[in-house]
Chains A and B, each alone.
Chain A
């Protein structure tokens, strides 16, 4: 073992001084240590082998460190205030025909534009929130079975990456209360990323985009909700559309519905083919109360749906995973 220590000190010193520290691994001294294994009695081989291995790891670490130091010393500082490098000229942009906007942000722009023109303010949703906004103010009792459906992530601190854009609803209601009480209405959409703790495949993602809408006034009713949603989809697809609903259960609305449109001709739809688009309903009185709005005086409706589905249908995208893949092969299809 003494010999091993000597070789170690020697090799470490060599590494510290070398410009090509990796060469030290080829040292004859080191090879000699390896070859000695076979000469030892079987009982000692294990311990010896372990020592040699440790030595090798130690040398590797020292080499990496030394290489980093050498690398670092070769960094040539730049005049970062200059417009271009010495003996060069101004750098080119990339060919403009390479450039592309992500199809999801393109479609969000589109959606926001339509709702803005319909009188809805657009607010980006948060990407980390708390139980209060994600569940409690939305009439989800702690341990409520409906919470299961959301498969939420949690941080160490108990924060929640929101599983729906409704996480903004209480904020929107509180912010709009004054306008509502002054005789106006609350009309807003919230859009952004949501997260579900689930395995990823062609039709499932743990990260996706939603768009949510809220409307509160003295006279809001379910017929208006159906009309407003139909109007949005008719504008989006540029044609008259049939709609249908089915009861749905979401604790923050009562009644709650699932909303479908007849598949538009633009998407190759035939009569009788339906596309489920979103969940919606009349805002539960407890949700209005949580924002300090009197449910005896005001009523509201709300809805929320995924954005990816619209984009996939529009372009015929086959795999949900493409969106967050960052593959140029995908991105440059949207020039």
Chain B
């Protein structure tokens, strides 16, 4: 939103440099994105008199023009009479006109600040030197009018700067209006000026005409035609006002200074009638709308009767922009009789549009329910200056004074006359809001020390009425335009804001000395992260949402994912079910970048429909940890064992023990879907048997789909299950006696699981009262052999004596027997 400083100055004084003001507005009202210097754009434009204009022979439209610039331009060729020669093609050029001249080296304002600014010079045209140009309103970027040059009134002296005539020596504030959504009043210059006054500590007085009690001037009361209005759904519109105006001079332009103000804040001047509605909207924030009275009359059966009501299902409306929309019961409709003629607050309909045949117009000034309008705006995609203001919630009290001023200005600018009474529907007039509070309450919430006078003055500056109730108690009456003020906290904000929040002394919060214990799960995750970083892995963070193809490629069921319905990107269609697919996606690009050996891991949350809802009825979130390890060069042994080694390392860093079991079930669960079950293990809790996760290699289909290298494996675990895994046995005192170690080599069938050897060994050792430790030494299988050799090392320690050979032999024999029984092994 653009705010003109010169326009502001019509309503309040500004007592400091604009940069300083912009900083102050930033600190006390709203962020100023930019201060635009308009003066630079127009600084060279001069008002000049056309002394003579004569047709150039051989040209059908060019005139040789001599102008008087009052002698103010330096470095320019002049004739004996001190006049400057310009060639001009405008059809309306005549001698004795007062016009705007852009001298050589100046930039045509229309092109100022664009990618290709047009710099004027002195050049030959049809054999005549033309110095600069005489400008149209369009070239001056004041309006769309390019029919001819802009002609100003004759009382302006030649050589006057255009900036002085149209107060273009202006600066514009570019406002970040997103943070003003709660301040409808600030969407009008007057409301903004009120704030500017107050933040400078000045008192502000709203122009008298905006006071809703001011009567319509006598000459404007009329009763020539009838108009009736009714609000059928009072929750949709608080107040609806309309009048009928006679045809003015439709083609007439509004005064040039109004056009100049409108164009600098981004509104194109059209004609006097339209400009009145735009001007008043920019001034007050209240949008107005015009209908063709005679068309309304015809549609409603000869009786002008306007209704504000809800749209009906199935009802259609042809809008001004040529679209036919289907209305819903949430749309607010303006109807002539029972026929919808406009989408209230949003856009008019073609059936009652103003056009060249229009004789009489209806001017509407109303307020509509902002929530309905917002849904209308979204549903039908309508964005305009008017709906932007309506959706901030303009107050009902504003509608009448603005309508009265519109009648006045239309009369003044276009000659239109009021021909009806003001028709009004206002079923539940707004009540004044009064808020009681105390000086202490304000200071306690802000941590400030403002006295009663400061508080009272701050509020009266922005036209609250403040009444002292004694003992620091105050009663504030809220002005009607402050729809955002309802509760004491809103008063707190006014006091804090207008006096500067930065003037409140920062202190520290008071709290008791209870220690805060960091969450143990956070601590666990920190340990996992540290362990994996030490193991040479790289932590990644990847998106929570993935493309459906990623789910498909991973063998996961799309129906198990929460689907995003309004994503702007197809890459963000579904919530991911596990982390592994996101990691697999990263392998190929990183390999292509030349990384041969790497492990990526992520600690994050995932979501599956299968896991259901919490007791708050929101989806259960599952904490996951996943890793993928990739090697470009084939290392000895299957990749599976490297992933398992990394997981083992994490477990030992955490001091927990897990068990690896061959994977039996296959694609049932999302977590195991990408894994090849014959080359993957289930990670389980030794005590409870609960599934902690999966470690393994990926299916060939997955490898192909994600373009994975040959040597690749990974794991994914439920973090909370790993967190709950049993801790390794605690500390045991060291023995004073030496330990004995024996290696035992078993020849077993090639398909025998290592685990069955170890389980049998541990079973046998559980009957021995010594401290025992079993570690793997070697696993060997000759090429083509149907057997393999598993060598383990058994370490035995006694705490009360030195072990003798027999004891050790007995233990080894027990183990050998147990393993033989369990697996049919041969000890070799």
Q: Is B716's CB within 8 Å of the partner chain A?
A: no
Chain B contact residue count (CB 8 A cutoff): 130
- Chain A 185-213 interface 0/1 with B at a Cβ cutoff of 8 Å (1 = within): 10100000101011110000011000000
- A81 touching B754 in the complex, CB below 8 Å, given contacts A255-B497, A326-B542: yes
Contacts of B737 in A (CB 8 A): none
CA of A230 to CA of B502, assembled, Å = 12
- Check B497–A247 contact: CB distance below 8 A: yes
**Beyond A76-B679, A81-B660, A127-B544, 7 additional pairs, beta carbon < 8 A:** A81-B681, A81-B755, A88-B779, A101-B529, A143-B372, A248-B179, A326-B585
- A187 touching B511 in the complex, CB below 8 Å, given contacts A153-B566, A255-B492, A255-B501: yes
Contact of A326 among B181, B492, B590 (CB under 8 A): B590
CA of A146 to CA of B635, assembled, Å = 57
Q: Is A142's CB within 8 Å of the partner chain B?
A: yes
- Chain A 152-169 interface 0/1 with B at a Cβ cutoff of 8 Å (1 = within): 011111010100000000
Interface centre among A99, A124, A195, A219 (most CB of B within 10 A): A99
Q: Is A84's CB within 8 Å of the partner chain B?
A: yes
Our count of residue pairs bridging A and B at CB distance below 8 angstroms stands at: 352
- Check B544–A83 contact: CB distance below 8 A: no
Closest residue of chain B to A209, judged by CB? Answer: B541
- Chain A 103-125 interface 0/1 with B at a Cβ cutoff of 8 Å (1 = within): 01100010010001101111110
- Shortest A225–chain B CB gap in Å is 8
Contact of B543 among A184, A207, A246 (CB under 8 A): A207
- A146 touching B181 in the complex, CB below 8 Å, given contacts A71-B700, A83-B641, A254-B493: yes
B residues with CB within 8 A of A: 26-31, 178-183, 370-372, 374-375, 391-392, 444-448, 487, 489-490, 492-493, 496-497, 501-502, 504-512, 514, 516, 518-519, 522, 526, 529-530, 532-545, 562-569, 572, 575, 582-583, 585-586, 589-590, 593, 595, 597-600, 603, 605, 607, 616-619, 621, 629, 635-638, 640-642, 644-646, 649, 660-663, 676, 678-681, 695-696, 700-701, 752-756, 758, 776, 779-781, 788
Q: Is A266's CB within 8 Å of the partner chain B?
A: no
- Check A331–B518 contact: CB distance below 8 A: no
Interface centre among A68, A85, A100, A219 (most CB of B within 10 A): A85
- A98 touching B701 in the complex, CB below 8 Å, given contacts A221-B447, A254-B493, A326-B586: no
A-B contact pairs, 8 of them (CB 8 A): A85-B641, A98-B538, A105-B603, A109-B526, A145-B374, A223-B505, A224-B507, A224-B510
Interface centre among B372, B374, B506 (most CB of A within 10 A): B506
Closest residue of chain B to A185, judged by CB? Answer: B511
- Check A100–B538 contact: CB distance below 8 A: yes
| Interface residue stretch chosen among A16-24, A36-44, A89-97 | A89-97
CA of A246 to CA of B181, assembled, Å = 15
- Check B599–A94 contact: CB distance below 8 A: yes
* A residues 118-151 touching B (CB-CB < 8 Å): 119-124, 126-130, 133, 141-146, 149
- Check B445–A78 contact: CB distance below 8 A: no
CA of A248 to CA of B176, assembled, Å = 11
- A81 touching B662 in the complex, CB below 8 Å, given contacts A88-B637, A156-B563, A207-B543: yes
Contacts of A326 in B (CB 8 A): 540-542, 582-583, 585-586, 589-590, 600
CA of A142 to CA of B370, assembled, Å = 11
- Check A99–B538 contact: CB distance below 8 A: yes
CA of A327 to CA of B638, assembled, Å = 26
- Shortest A141–chain B CB gap in Å is 7
Q: Is A217's CB within 8 Å of the partner chain B?
A: yes
Q: Is A273's CB within 8 Å of the partner chain B?
A: no
CA of A69 to CA of B692, assembled, Å = 30
- Check B178–A149 contact: CB distance below 8 A: yes
- A217 touching B510 in the complex, CB below 8 Å, given contacts A122-B522, A222-B504, A247-B179: yes
Contacts of B680 in A (CB 8 A): 80
- Check A197–B566 contact: CB distance below 8 A: yes
CA of A190 to CA of B510, assembled, Å = 20
Q: Is A2's CB within 8 Å of the partner chain B?
A: no
Contacts of B539 in A (CB 8 A): 100-102, 105, 331
CA of A246 to CA of B593, assembled, Å = 46
- Check B641–A328 contact: CB distance below 8 A: no
Q: Which 3 A-B pairs have the closest CB atoms?
A: A223-B447, A94-B536, A85-B637
Q: Is A243's CB within 8 Å of the partner chain B?
A: yes
- Check A206–B562 contact: CB distance below 8 A: no
- Check B532–A324 contact: CB distance below 8 A: no
Contact of A95 among B518, B536, B569, B638 (CB under 8 A): B536
- Shortest A104–chain B CB gap in Å is 6
* A residues 292-309 touching B (CB-CB < 8 Å): 299
* A residues 212-234 touching B (CB-CB < 8 Å): 215, 217, 219-228, 230-231
- Shortest A134–chain B CB gap in Å is 10
- A119 touching B586 in the complex, CB below 8 Å, given contacts A161-B544, A329-B593: no
- Check A197–B568 contact: CB distance below 8 A: yes
Contacts of B660 in A (CB 8 A): 80-81
Contacts of A78 in B (CB 8 A): 638, 640, 678-679
Contacts of B180 in A (CB 8 A): 249
Q: Is A314's CB within 8 Å of the partner chain B?
A: no
- A255 touching B489 in the complex, CB below 8 Å, given contacts A99-B535, A119-B511, A217-B510: yes
- Check A247–B501 contact: CB distance below 8 A: yes
CA of A128 to CA of B604, assembled, Å = 13
Contacts of A324 in B (CB 8 A): 541-543
- A72 touching B700 in the complex, CB below 8 Å, given contacts A80-B640, A85-B779, A223-B507: yes
- Check A128–B562 contact: CB distance below 8 A: yes
- Chain A 21-60 interface 0/1 with B at a Cβ cutoff of 8 Å (1 = within): 0000000000000000000000000000000000000000
CA of A196 to CA of B744, assembled, Å = 62
Contacts of A240 in B (CB 8 A): none
CA of A132 to CA of B597, assembled, Å = 47
Contact of A86 among B497, B572, B779 (CB under 8 A): B779
- Shortest A129–chain B CB gap in Å is 6
Closest residue of chain A to B544, judged by CB? Answer: A127
- A91 touching B642 in the complex, CB below 8 Å, given contacts A68-B701, A99-B533, A247-B179: yes
- Check A227–B540 contact: CB distance below 8 A: no
CA of A293 to CA of B133, assembled, Å = 71
- Check B178–A91 contact: CB distance below 8 A: no
- Check A112–B511 contact: CB distance below 8 A: no
- Check A224–B508 contact: CB distance below 8 A: yes
